[in-house]
């Protein structure tokens, strides 16, 4: 069973656990690049979708988009993004618009940090 990653994430921890994700995909660097590209595209789409859903108070979409972004982040070993996506999913579930707004800000900030890290 994978360990639960509830550890606090802060700006000093790297946004991607490269070793962990490489282990998971069998050490294939090219494949990792492909996955990162898929993630970038997915993130752009989901961020847009989420902004719109928050505007329209569509909690169902907030929850679903948060959930699937959480899965993607987990599979790519992006702990901070995973946490932010989880907060988004919870906000959708609890119908908390303020929390959703906060989670979106956090998602965007962490995504920016990832892009900078990847260079």
Partner 1 sequence: MKNTFVETASRQKSRFSVLVAEDDPLTKRLLEKKLKDWGYTVLKAEDGNKALKTIKQPEVRMAILDWMMPGLEGPEICSKLRQSKKPKYTYIILLTARDTSFDIIQGLEAGADDYMTKPINFMELRARLKTAHRILELEDNLIKAQKKLLKLATMDSLTGAWNRRTILSFIREELERFKREKNPFGLLMIDLDNFKNINDSYGHQAGDAVLKNIVKMLKKNLRPFDRIGRYGGDELLILLPNCNIFNTGIIATRLLEHIRKNKINFRHRATLSATLSIGGTSTDSISQPNLVKLIRTADRALYLAKKLGRDRVTLFGDSIKMEAKEKKNARKEKR
Only segment of 16-24, 48-56, 98-106, 108-116 that touches partner 1 (CB under 8 A):
16-24
Separation between Cα atoms, residue 48 and residue 61, nearest integer Å: 12
Nearer to partner 1, 61 or 97 (CB): 61
34 binds partner 1 (CB under 8 A): yes
Alpha helices in the chain (DSSP H): 18-24, 29-55, 59-75, 79-94, 97-118
- Taking the complex as a whole, the smallest distance from the CB of residue 60 to partner 1 amounts, in Å, to 10
Contact 32, 22 (CB under 8 A): yes
Instruction: Report the interface residues with partner 1, using CB under 8 A.
Output: 1-2, 19, 22-28, 31, 34-35, 38-39, 41-42, 64, 67-72, 74-77
């Amino acid at each position: 069973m994978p360990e639960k990653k509830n550890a606090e994430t802060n700006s000093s921890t790297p946004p991607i656990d490269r070793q962990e994700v490489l282990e998971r995909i069998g050490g294939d660097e090219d494949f990792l690049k492909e996955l990162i590209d898929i993630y970038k595209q997915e993130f752009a789409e989901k961020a847009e979708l989420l902004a719109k859903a928050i505007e329209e108070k569509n909690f169902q979409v907030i929850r679903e988009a948060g959930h699937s972004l959480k899965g993607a982040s987990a599979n790519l070993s992006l702990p901070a993004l995973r946490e932010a996506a989880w907060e988004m999913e919870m906000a959708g579930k609890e119908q908390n618009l303020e929390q959703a707004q906060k989670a979106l800000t956090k998602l965007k900030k962490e995504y920016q940090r990832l892009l900078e890290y990847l260079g």
